[in-house]
A = this chain, B = another copy of it.
Amino acid sequence: MEATTSSPSAAPSPQPRAREEGSSGEGSPVRFEAEPGRYRHWKLSLEGAIARVSMDVDEDAPMRPGYQLKLNSYDLAVDIELADIVQRLRFERPEVKAVVVTSAQPRIFCAGANIYMLGSSSHAFKVNFCKFTNETRLALEEACSESGQHYLAALNGVASGGGYELALACEEIFLCDDGSSAVSFPETPLLAVLPGTGGLTRLVDKRKVRRDLADVFSTLAEGVRGKRAQEWGLVDRSIPRSRFDQAVAQRAAELAAATPDRPGPGVELAPLEPRRAEDGDVSTCDYRHVSLKVDRAARTAEIRVLGPDGEGPSDAAGMRRAGADLWALRAFRELDDALLDLRFNHPTVGLVLLRTAGSPDAVRAADEALWAARDDWFVKEVLLHMRRVLKRLDLTARSVFALIEPGSCFAGSLFELALAADRSYMLDGGDDDASRASPATVALGPLNFGPLAMSNGLTRLASRFLGAPERVAALKERTGPLSAEEALEEGLCTFAPDAMDWDDEVRLAIEERVSLSPDALTGMEASLRFCGPETMETKIFSRLSAWQNWIFQRPNAVGQRGALTMYGRPERPEFDWRRT
Contacts and interface: CB of A to CB of B under 8 A. Distances in A.
Interface string A235-279: 000000000000000000000000000000000000000000000
A415 B299 CA distance: 55
A218 interface: yes
A467 B208 contact: yes
B188 A557 contact: no
| CB-CB nearest 3 A-B residue pairs | A208-B467, A192-B517, A546-B546
Interface stretch (A52-60, A316-324, A524-532): A524-532
A550 B546 contact: yes
A215 B122 CA distance: 28
Interface in A198-229: 200-201, 203-205, 207-208, 210-216, 218-219
Contacts of A191: 520
A520 B187 contact: yes
A147 interface: no
A128 interface: yes
B543 A530 contact: yes
B192 A531 contact: no
A580 interface: yes
Contact of A551 (B347, B350, B519, B563): B519
Interface in A486-507: 491, 494
A335 interface: no
A124 B580 contact: yes
A543 B538 CA distance: 9
A488 to B, nearest CB: 11
Interface of A: 122-124, 127-128, 187-189, 191-194, 200-201, 203-205, 207-208, 210-216, 218-219, 233, 299, 347-350, 397-398, 421-424, 463-468, 491, 494, 512-513, 516-534, 538-539, 542-544, 546-551, 553-554, 556-557, 563, 573, 575-580
Nearest to A526: B547
28 contacts: A123-B580, A124-B579, A187-B520, A188-B520, A191-B520, A192-B520, A194-B520, A194-B523, A200-B524, A200-B527, A200-B528, A203-B528, A208-B531, A210-B464, A214-B528, A215-B524, A216-B423, A218-B528, A219-B512, A347-B578, A347-B580, A348-B579, A397-B580, A518-B580, A519-B550, A519-B556, A534-B539, A543-B546
Contacts of A200: 524, 527-528
Given A192-B516, A466-B205, A494 B216 contact: yes
A547 B546 CA distance: 5
Nearest to A547: B523
Contacts of A424: 212
Given A215-B422, A424-B212, A466-B208, A550 B577 contact: no
Contacts of A423: 212, 215-216
Which of A210, A233, A538, A548 neighbours the largest number of chain B CB atoms within 10 Å of its CB? A210
A494 B212 contact: yes
A578 B348 contact: yes
Contacts of A123: 580
A543 B518 contact: no
A578 B531 contact: no
A517 B211 contact: no
A218 B578 CA distance: 32
A204 B516 contact: no
Nearest to A299: B577
Given A523-B547, A527-B543, 8 more contacts: A191-B520, A194-B520, A194-B524, A205-B531, A212-B424, A517-B557, A521-B579, A523-B550
Which of A127, A518, A529, A579 neighbours the largest number of chain B CB atoms within 10 Å of its CB? A579
A112 B349 CA distance: 31
Contacts of A528: 200, 203-204, 211, 214-215, 218
A347 B576 CA distance: 10
B556 A553 contact: no
A126 B463 CA distance: 32
A40 B300 CA distance: 49
A124 B578 contact: yes
A423 B580 CA distance: 20
A516 to B, nearest CB: 6
A579 B518 contact: yes
A534 B529 contact: no
A170 to B, nearest CB: 17
A530 B200 CA distance: 11
A267 B201 CA distance: 43
Contacts of A548: 523
A543 B544 contact: no
Contacts of A546: 542-543, 546-547, 549-550
A519 B211 contact: no
Contacts of A577: 299, 347-348, 350, 518
